[in-house]
Amino acid sequence: MNINNYNFNKTPKKEAGPTTNKTELTQKDSIPHRDTLSTKKDDFFLPLQRNYKIQYATEYVVTQLDNNFLNAGYQKFTGGGSPIYMNPGINGLFKIGMTDLLEDKKIVGGFRIAADLSSNEFILSYDDRTKRLDKQLVLHRESLSNVTDGNGDLLKIHTNEAIYRLRWPFSEVTRLGGSLTYRNDQTVYLATDDANLAKPYTYANWAEAKLEYVFDNTIQKGLNLYNGLRFKLFAEYYKQIDAQSSDMTVLGLDIRHYTKIHRDLIWANRFSASTSLGSQKLIYYMGGVDNWFNPKFDNSVRVATDQNYAFQTIATPMRGFYQNIRNGNSFALFNSEIRWPIFKYLIGRPIRSDMINNFQIIGFGDLGTAWNGNSPYSSENSLNTTIMGGNFGNPITVTLQNHTNPIVGGYGVGFRTRIFGYFVRLDFARGVEDGVILPRITYLSFTQDF
């Protein structure tokens, strides 16, 4: 083939010069001379270089109904004799992501509109991944309505956050991350009566620093199916700027291991634990599952009033119980699941139906506890103490020492699949407390497992 003069099928051939008999051409004549090649090579030149101008294009647009927070973080402690973890409930979510051509820079914006049109949430983030050190700036605002304080007054809490994150990858499977956060909590008393109407707004300003080490060599074998190991070790420090001697330290870990039993049959295990220290603390409410469709809170379990809690969160999954079956500034939890995508496993060929292809049967067991003090069996643990009386109707205060086993467990079966783009989980669980098997509890939730 003559690379200097070739034609496509539909390209008209150029007019040839003086006709020459092909038989007169020798093999030597058909090979271009070196001087001819060098001349053709000199005719080639590179185009002018131009600066790359960043242009963003839409990467994805999400509009859906769900019960997720846009940026799940610690909630301000509701406190009092009737604490409760504020769940987002079913809300409308809109989220859009934009990225440049080289995917080095990314902008994400979104908002969550609650059913009451009051507990809304907004987020805006900017990612810069042009170099090895990834940088991210996040602006976040969240509102929680109808919060009850210790006096029974209704509140509305506005949380505004500015987060600056850095991530340094050591390899394809490990990285070190850190973040600096400014947080402002504004508490508004709802005008339910004249007394609340006269109360001024209160503010709490926090500076936060977080450091985490992440290892992840998992391989995704399907939806909610993995092989490998991943874990995270983290440390957090919180300092209230507008208060003296007000700080908090949080230490924790989360380890997850996925073992292939046979083909797509996976055994998933997770161990997570955390504790909070300092003049103010974080309370963990153990029980239930993440993104529970109709969450229930167990107010019969006492919350310690002498721990000076500043924030609250949930420790899940602990199936077989409502939220707050155990609480405290420390928790430890072990979860084990057998995940079996039955149709995908038995049929062994591509399945067109997304719902059938991702349908899974889950067998699970949970074991854990949350506590105050040095250990779950410590006398400082609020679970081991019941205080009765001490009010206007009964001025006599009685302190009762309990001997309840702080460790609880749960077991059961669940079903998983994806319907209309939502990953739906349905669990039937029974809890075990003090050796007693409790009545079954059904959980419906809309998020993937650990």
For residue range 157-169, what is the model confidence (pLDDT) as tens digits? 999 999 999 999 9
Report helix, strand or coil for 137: strand
Q: Does 108 map to a domain?
A: no
- Res. 254: pLDDT tops 60: yes
Q: What is the residue range of 375's domain?
A: 217-445
- Checking if the pLDDT of 77 tops 50, the result is yes
Answer whether residue 88 shows pLDDT above 90: no
Q: Provide the percentage of residues in the chain whose pLDDT is more than 90.
A: 60
Read off the pLDDT of each residue in 439-443 and give the average, rounded to a whole number: 97
Q: Is the pLDDT of residue 151 over 50?
A: yes
For residue 42, the model assigns a pLDDT of 58
| 434 within domain boundaries | yes
Position with higher pLDDT, 316 vs 53: 316
How many whole angstroms separate alpha carbon 192 and alpha carbon 158? 18
Question: Looking at residue 245, what is its pLDDT?
Answer: 80
pLDDT at 90 over 80: yes
Residue 46 has pLDDT above 60, yes or no: yes
Q: Which residues are bridge partners to 272 per DSSP? A: 254, 333
Residue 400 lies in a domain: yes
pLDDT at 332 over 50: yes
In sequence order, which residues have a C-beta less than 8 Å from that of residue 233 and are 6 or more positions away? 212, 213, 252, 253
Tell me which amino acid residue 12 is.
P
Give the mean model confidence (pLDDT) for residues 301-323. Answer: 92
Q: Which residues pair with 309 in a beta bridge?
A: 281
Residues sharing a CB contact under 8 Å with residue 277, sequence separation 6 or more, in sequence order: 248, 249, 250, 251, 329
- Count of domains observed in the chain: 1
Q: What is the pLDDT of residue 115?
A: 84
Span 388-412, pLDDT tens digits: 655 555 667 666 677 788 999 999 9
Q: How confident is the model at residue 39 (pLDDT cuts 50, 70, 90)?
A: very low
Q: What is the pLDDT of residues 263-284, one digit of tens each?
A: 999 999 999 999 999 999 999 9
Q: What is the pLDDT of residue 28?
A: 46
* E strand intervals along 263-407: 265-277, 281-286, 309-315, 326-328, 330-340, 360-371, 385-389, 397-401
pLDDT of residue 29: 47
Q: For a pLDDT cut of 70, what percent of the chain falls above it?
A: 86
Q: Six-digit token pair at 301? A: 């379990």
Is the model's pLDDT at 43 over the cut of 90?
A: no
For residue 81, tell me if it sits in a domain: no
pLDDT tier, 12 (very low <50, low <70, confident <90, very high otherwise)? low
375 pLDDT higher than 50: yes
How many CA atoms lie within 13 Å of 392's alpha carbon, on the beta-carbon side?
Answer: 0
387: confidence class by pLDDT, cuts 50, 70, 90: low
Domain for residue 135, yes or no? no
Tell me the average pLDDT across 197-202: 87
Query: How confident is the model at residue 24, as a pLDDT?
Result: 46
The larger pLDDT score, comparing residue 2 to residue 185, is at: 185
How far, CA to CA in Å, does 112 sit from each of 68, 120, 160, 339? Answer: 9, 6, 15, 32
Residue 374 within a domain: yes
Average pLDDT of the segment spanning 160-179 = 97
pLDDT at 222 (0 to 100): 92
Per-residue pLDDT band at 85 (split at 50, 70, 90): confident
The distance of Cα 308 from the centroid of its chain, to the nearest Å, equals 27
Indicate if the pLDDT at residue 355 is higher than 90: yes
pLDDT band at 190 (very low <50, low <70, confident <90, very high): confident
- The more confident residue out of 114 and 253 is 253
> Region 241-250: what's the mean pLDDT?
90
pLDDT confidence bin for 145, thresholds 50/70/90: confident
